[in-house]
Chain A
Amino acid sequence: MKRYLAVALGILTAIGGFVDIGDLVTNAQVGARFGLSLGWIVVIGVLGICVFAEMSGRIAAVSHRATFDLVRERLGPRIGLLNLVGSMAVTLLTFIAEIGGVALALQLVTSIHHLAWVPLVAVLVWLVLWRAKFSAMENVLGLLGLTLIVFSVALWQLQPDWGDLGRQLALADKPAGEAWTTYAFFAVALFGAAMTPYEVFFFSSGGVEERWTVKDIPTMRANVLIGFPLGGLLSLSIAGAAAVVYGPLGISVETLGQVGLPVAVALGKVGLALAIVGFVAATFGAACETGLSAGYSLAQYAGWQWGKYVKPSVAGSFHASLVVFVLLAAGVLMTTVDPIMVTEMSVVFSAVALPLTYFPILVVANDPDYLGEHTNGRFANALGSGYLVLVVVASLAAIPLMVVTKMGTA
């Protein structure tokens, strides 16, 4: 019974933990402009993150190696450093965006400018990273993040033309007024938001910290294969609600308040309150995850002692790097940069950084020296190879598309 409870809890937190500021903003923007015609990218992205999270979780359970260990072992110190710089840049951009997201959500409730909230939120994030228990952090924030289900309820209450939404999703029906390059740009952004590399850094490092063994593989798989797709459904609901409310009016989504407005239209104040609780929990949880992930990747590249479970006196360099990241994030936000713009940048660059992270995972998942009898089967390899090609294409296309479409504004 206890085991099933653990599985259920893991799945629930995976749902809440899947959605972060990148998913919230990008899905709402895309929903408003493209309806559900880009929904198939969310489906592909979610399947991709499942494939690689499962591999990295299996490697963590069998060989106790986290993802950035593999990056350096398989790519060497030079290409490994290139990946470290790229991934850290993306993860820190996301970290900045998440802290900004929490501050923006608090601004929605209090009407106090988000810059006033930034220092407080940064200190709170650091306190959680430094002091709070891993499981407590994941469970509380993950479960609170589940309130984002109001988006699904809102979509249902808005009584959309389900046939039309289904047709957009199934036929990838691009609105006539949009150029193909813009469509492709947002496709890459959505793909990057779903497959962002920090998710595997965090997932595998968490597995190593919680001392997963071969016995934990089924639980890990259930979390990934049920939790992430349900999280993807939340993403689609956000896009759907935005499509129904904003689509006909031709309004584009620029603020976090606009992301939540469809819920207010459908369910009133209570719905909006729940949505904001969901925003705060999801972005705060993701802020903790991205902050830790940046520290994990740096420490795993350098070989430092790392771990949220390890006392600061034992893992000094790791905890010092977390302090630096929090200060950096707060500093960048205090320059009055728009967190929403940081979010858009982070998902695009995450698409660029993907191949150098997912290639070593795929190689090691086939290495019997690490995994013994738990190496990839044909199915995992077929999917893994397919996604490897896909992430390479997305990473090559990301920057040119960003320039050509002027970040989707052209």
Chain B
Amino acid sequence: MTARGGYDAALHLLDRQIVDADGLLVGKVDDVELTEDPDGALVPTGLLIGLAALLPRVSPWLHHRWVRMAPQEARRTTPSAIDIDVVDEIASEIRLGVARDGLVRARADGPHEPVRRTLRDLLEMDVLLPDRTLRVLDVRLSHRGADDRPRVAALLVGHGRPGTYLGYERSPERGPWLVATVIRWWHRGSRFVELGPGVELDWERRCVRVASDVPLADPWEADR
């Protein structure tokens, strides 16, 4: 997790095991809550747990059916969360600093609550480049702001589905040769898009618009 430029949300957070302070298992990270700061930055604020977060990632159709079986249940559409502040360490497991009992709670709902997004929303977006359309494959988080909180700094965009990089873009020398070569070939057209001027996230239309003057780095070169 010490790789340059922070960590990747889909690779390092999604689907990892959450373990509480006593070593008991809490659940998997089924999705990640991203909150919009007043300055427009996206900050990960919670780990979303439960079928309401998992099912849309498995099959939106299945999720819809499941919601229709009990439409009165808000928790079937709005997943519950664990606050990111209780996370002690992000390694091969997500270790919490507190015990698991009663930990996963629904978020408050009101006019003064900040705007909340999910990592899944971001990962499903089309990325409209001047010459082609790609998809968001992963979201790089890094400590760039004045405070200690990580925030969404860049998008890894390309063809295929989120997570299919399997971490190979982070260390080009990683084996085995066969797998590394296939993945590198498959994702040969992928790019890093740094968030900033010229990059607009359109949550309504589920797409990212990238202006023609935004520099696009090649992820296979970036980490070297």
Residue in A78, A302, A368 whose beta carbon sits within 8 Å of that of B57 in the complex: A78
Interface residues in B151-183 (C-beta closer than 8 Å to A): 161-163, 166-167, 171, 174-179
- Which of A80, A306, A363 is the one whose CB lies under 8 Å from B166? A363
The residue in chain B whose Cβ has the minimal distance to the Cβ of A65 is: B92
Confirm or deny: B17 has a beta carbon within 8 angstroms of a beta carbon on chain A: yes
Q: Could you tell me the distance between the alpha carbons of A384 and B12 in the complex, rounded to whole angstroms?
A: 24
Among A73, A77, A385, contact of B176 (Cβ-Cβ < 8 Å) = A385
In the bound complex, how far is the Cα of B162 from the Cα of A151, in angstroms?
A: 51
> A75-109: contact bitstring with B at CB < 8 Å (1 yes, 0 no)?
01110110000000000000000000000000000
Partner of B28, one of A64, A302, A368, A381: A302
Return chain B residues, CB-CB under 8 Å to A376: 175-176
**Interface residue stretch chosen among B18-26, B33-41, B64-72, B210-218:** B18-26
Shortest distance between the CB of A84 and any CB in chain B (Å)? 11
- From A64, A72, A76, A385, give the contact of B179 (CB < 8 A): A385
Question: What's the Cα separation between A388 and B178 when bound, in Å?
Answer: 10
Task: Please name the residue on chain A nearest to B54 by beta carbon.
Answer: A77
Chain B contacts for A213, CB-based, 8 A: none
Given contacts A303-B28, A362-B179, A388-B178, contact A369 B1 (CB under 8 A): yes
A381-B58 in contact given A73-B16, A76-B163, A306-B25 (Cβ < 8 Å): no
Q: How far is the CB of A82 from chain B (nearest CB, A)?
A: 10
| Contact across chains for A81 and B28 when beta carbons are under 8 A apart | no
CA distance A375 to B177 in the complex (A): 14
Enumerate chain B residues within 8 angstroms of A80, measured Cβ to Cβ: 15
CA distance A65 to B174 in the complex (A): 20
CA distance A335 to B58 in the complex (A): 34
Contact partner, B17, options A303, A314, A367, A369, Cβ 8 Å: A303
Tell me what chain B mostly uses at the interface: helix, strand, loop, or mixed: loop
A64-B93, A76-B163 known; A381 vs B176 contact (CB < 8 Å): yes
Is the beta-carbon distance between A72 and B59 smaller than 8 angstroms? no
User: Is B150 in the interface zone, CB < 8 Å from A?
Assistant: no
Q: Is B27 an interface residue (CB 8 A)?
A: yes
Q: Which residues of B contact A344 (CB under 8 A)?
A: none
| Also in contact, A76 and B15, with CB within 8 A (given A63-B92, A378-B175) | yes
A370-387 residues with Cβ-Cβ distance < 8 A to B are 370, 375-376, 378, 381-382, 384-385
Q: Separation in Å of the B140 CB from the closest CB of chain A?
A: 15
Interface residues of A in 24-40 (CB under 8 A from B): none
- Contact count band on A: 35 or more
Of the candidates B18, B93, B161, which one forms a contact with A65 in the assembled complex, judged by CB atoms under 8 Å apart? B93
Asked whether A367 and B163 contact (CB < 8 A) given A304-B25, A314-B24, the answer is: no
Cα A217 to Cα B16 with chains together (Å): 24
Q: CB-defined interface of B1-21 with A at 8 Å, one 1/0 digit per residue? A: 100000000001011111000
Residue in B closest to A382 when the chains form the complex, CB atoms: B176
B28 touches A370 (CB 8 A): no
Query: Is A74 located at the chain interface by the 8 A CB criterion?
Result: yes
Chain A residues lying within 8 Å of B174, measured Cβ to Cβ, are 366-368, 375
CB B149 to nearest CB in A, in angstroms, measures 22
Please name the residue on chain A nearest to B100 by beta carbon: A305
A3 to chain B, nearest CB (A): 26
A270 to B221, CA, bound (A): 69
A188 to B113, CA, bound (A): 59
B179 touches A73 (CB 8 A): no
B115 to chain A, nearest CB (A): 26
Bound complex: CA A78 to CA B16 (Å): 15
**Judging by beta carbons under 8 Å apart, are B24 and A366 in contact?**
no
* Known A363-B166, A369-B167, A375-B175; further 19 A-B contacts with Cβ < 8 A: A63-B92, A69-B17, A72-B28, A73-B16, A76-B162, A77-B54, A77-B58, A78-B59, A80-B15, A303-B17, A303-B49, A314-B24, A362-B176, A369-B1, A369-B92, A370-B92, A378-B175, A385-B176, A385-B178
What residues of chain A have their CB less than 8 Å away from a CB belonging to chain B? 63-65, 69, 72-74, 76-78, 80-81, 300, 302-306, 314, 362-363, 366-370, 375-376, 378, 381-382, 384-385, 388-389
Nearest 6 A/B pairs, CB to CB: A303-B28, A381-B176, A303-B27, A63-B92, A385-B178, A305-B25
